[in-house]
Structure 1
Amino acid sequence: MSALTEQVAALVARQRAQQTDADRQALAAAYRHQPEPFEAEFAQMACDHPEACACPPEMPSSIPGFLAALSGGDLPADAVREERCIKAPIGCGRPLIDDQGVTRVFWDADEAARYQAEWQITGLCPDCQDRINAHDEDGYEQ
């Protein structure tokens, strides 16, 4: 195997020695201009000066703004403060304790703590957490 490696190295060295500067520049330019699969779509998003780029006013410019746009103006913090699930289409919008005082029953305190921790982060009630967790990594039901 080492003989083959030496032959390949010698061939590469010969090819590099035969290249002129013009050849190297032409080859480098050709590589720079190879079309990418989504080059046209990317060019529409590109900007010469990223620090000067701005989204259209109707687009949210922050993660909370993006979440609010997805959920119709609702945020996880709002849902937690109002003790309910985040509104549709992300969650169900129902209160954690219904009008009759009924809530979800958990197997043990650890399970309840896990659901509560997730609810405080995402605003999703236990039923919506279960609905989302019933899907695997690809987003398909298991």
Structure 2
Amino acid sequence: MIADYTSKNETLLSENTALKADCARWRTRVNALVERANKTSPEDWKRLQNERETLAKMLTNEKENLRKVSEELGALKIEKSKLEEQYTLLSRQQNNVVEENKKVNEELQVLKDDMSRLTEELAKLKGEFNTAADTNAKLSEEINNREAS
């Protein structure tokens, strides 16, 4: 039992020594960094402060630009949506006009066919009328000639 405690004590002592050495190394490192930071010249501090201010202004400007671009994007999305709706409506209207145009062309063709048929019929009737008129004129002439003789 004492051997266990002795062994444990030695282990803890060696750990303690290692931790103290680590602590000393870190303390040295921190002191070196603090010393280095304290050696920074006032010009460097001014330069760093100016750079920080410049970067802060740039960040503010970029945030403002981002806000404006986001607003423009939103407006463009709304406009795109409206244009898509208009396109859909105009496409439907165009399809309706095309269908109506087909129907009108079909009606026009029917009317042209009717007109052609009626023109032929009229020409035939004119021919028959002219023949009848000629026959009538001949008969009238014959009657006049018979009455005159």
TM-score range for the pair, normalised by the shorter chain length: under 0.3
Going by fraction, where is helix more abundant, 1 or 2? 2
Q: Which has the larger radius of gyration?
A: 2
Per chain length, whose mean CA-contact separation is higher, i.e. which structure has more relative contact order (CA < 8 Å, sep 6+)?
A: 1
TM-score by length of structure 2 reads 0.26
